[in-house]
Amino acid sequence: MKIINPLALYIHIPFCQRKCLYCDFTSFPGQREQFAAYLRALTQEIEQRLPSGLTITSLYIGGGTPTILPTEALTNLLATVKSKAWVLPEAEVTVEANPSSVTETELALLREAGVNRLSLGAQSGQDRFLQTLGRGHTTRQVETTLAAARNAGFTNINLDLIFGLPGESVDDWRETLQWATALRPEHLSCYGLQVEAGTPLAQRLEAGELNLPGEEETSAMFLLNTEFLPEAGYQQYEISNFARRPTAEGGDYRSRHNLTYWRYADYLGLGLAAYSGMAGRRWVNYADLEQYIDALRCGRLPVAEEEAIPPSTGMAEMIMLGLRLTTGPDPVVFQNRWGVSLEETIGERAVSLVAGGFLVKEAGTYRLTPRGMLVSNLVITELVAPLLR
Ligand code: SF4
């Protein structure tokens, strides 16, 4: 079989049981009557988009809540992908799920179909915060779903968590971390809450019904991640992501799929509103369900916008994403891709940031210090601004 550049594949399932109060992702509550038409369109996109001989290093089915679909629909999607492309035997195959959306039997079927990583939206270890967020599950349901996933044979499980919630203190967040680590998932994603304009949560905050913790408190929560989690056996490898340390038997639990994004490697996104970045081009699919389905029904690709990425923008993006990793951008990959060294590109502007304790220069690259991570947007902007002019 002819091997085309290996890549990471993302498939978007835009349906959810209900809309969480903070969510502005492309996801629709209910709409069960659209499942069949969407799956037909998505299958067609897979068939049109995947050249035969393509090698897939990771496959991520995200959403939305993919497990809202009948399990057979998910296993059929996997089978369609495998009929077109070569999914490496060691490929990471992730499905996102919400704790109340999947049973042990369904999880066992997914495992049998080749899904080897489960990402659960846990968000908080305290029910009152789950209610504030409008999540449709309790902490107890997270625990039972995780136990069900273990019984079904999953040995690589991620929990998504959010800190900086309305009314949350540093002690509350510590309690969530204690709860989550006691469950021993292999991976934890800990993101600060982003309040998106127009969401019901934003409206409640604007109306003064809820209050966010102050900047000092959210900084303390972030720093707690970098102290508490390593002590509990989780290594930080990206600003917001932590993986259980490998044991003597091996086991690298860093998200291979997400590493593709942070390393600025090629990825293909299929489904509603999915982004792709390949060979210096980027495109995004329609975010409107009807438009997406209609395009594929008429045999057209559902691309809403496409652009060539100018090399200077590509360099800036590779640096921005690479700095999210605790190892920093890879200087050899950077030099090979752009024909110019990382040092020549940002060395001069990095001097004051290194002196200020925001960056460390090491092994031919730069990485953010914990202090730099706290203000990563400012540090990164300072470094790459000339490339984006
Ligand atoms: S489950 Fe996820 S995608 Fe769905 S509404 Fe909630 S936050 Fe949004």
CB-CB contact of 268 with 211 (8 Å): no
Q: Can you give the pLDDT at residue 4?
A: 57
DSSP state of 249: T
The amino acid present at 274, given as its one-letter code, is A
Closest ligand 1 atom to residue 24 Cα is 8
Surface-to-core class of residue 384, CB atoms within 10 Å of its CB (0-12 exposed, 13-18 middle, 19+ buried) = buried
Tokens of 160: 């998504």
Over residues 277-282, the mean pLDDT reads: 94
171: number of Cβ within 10 Å: 9
Q: Look at residue 101 in the predicted model and tell me its pLDDT.
A: 85
Q: Is any ligand 1 atom within 6 A of the Cβ of residue 27?
A: yes
- Report the separation in Å between the CA atom of 16 and the middle of ligand 1, taken as the mean of its atom positions: 6
pLDDT classification of 26: cutoffs 50, 70, 90: confident
Helix/strand/coil for 303:
strand
pLDDT tens track for 194-243: 999 999 999 999 999 999 999 999 999 999 999 999 999 999 999 999 99
| Distance of CA 135 from the midpoint of ligand 1 (Å) | 8
pLDDT digits (tens, 9 = 90+) for 361-371: 999 999 999 99
pTM (2 decimals)? 0.95
Minimum CA distance residue for ligand 1 atom 8: 23
pLDDT at 31: 84
CATH class in words for 311-388: mainly alpha
Average pLDDT on 33-42 reads 96
Q: Hey, whose CA ends up nearest to atom 5 of ligand 1?
A: 19
Of 23-27, 303-307, 355-359, the one with minimum mean pLDDT is: 23-27
Architecture of the 4-260 domain: Alpha-Beta Barrel (3.20)
Burial of 159 (0-12, 13-18, 19+ CB in 10 A): buried
**Residue 1: is its pLDDT beyond 50?**
no
Q: From the CB of 74, is ligand 1 less than 6 Å away?
A: no
pLDDT computed for residue 245 by the predictor: 85
Percent of the chain with pLDDT over 90: 93
Q: Which of 12, 18, 20 to mutate to test the pocket of ligand 1 (most atoms within 8 A of CB)?
A: 20
**Which atom of ligand 1 is nearest the CA belonging to 98?**
1
List, for residues 297-354, the tens digit of each pLDDT value.
999 999 999 999 999 999 999 999 999 999 999 999 999 999 999 999 999 999 999 9
Arithmetic mean of pLDDT over the chain: 95
Exposed / middle / buried, residue 82 (Cβ in 10 Å: 0-12, 13-18, 19+): middle
CA dihedral 306, 260, 74, 135 (to 10 degrees): -90
pLDDT digits over 135-155, tens only?
999 999 999 999 999 999 999
Q: Is the pLDDT of residue 2 over 70?
A: no
Q: How many CB atoms lie within 10 A of CB 344?
A: 10
Lowest mean pLDDT segment, chosen from 118-127, 145-154, 246-255? 246-255
- Spatial separation of the C-alpha atoms in residues 222 and 161, rounded to whole Å: 12
Tell whether ligand 1 has an atom less than 6 A from the beta carbon of residue 63: yes
What is the number of H-type helices and E-type strands within the chain? Answer: 15, 16
For ligand 1, atom 6: residue with the closest CA: 20
Do residues 16 and 64 lie in contact, with contact meaning Cβ atoms separated by under 8 Å?
yes
For the chain, domain boundaries: 4-260, 311-388
Structure token digits, residue 353: 């940031």
- Which residue would you say has higher pLDDT here, 322 or 6? 322
Q: What is the mean pLDDT of residues 65-76?
A: 97
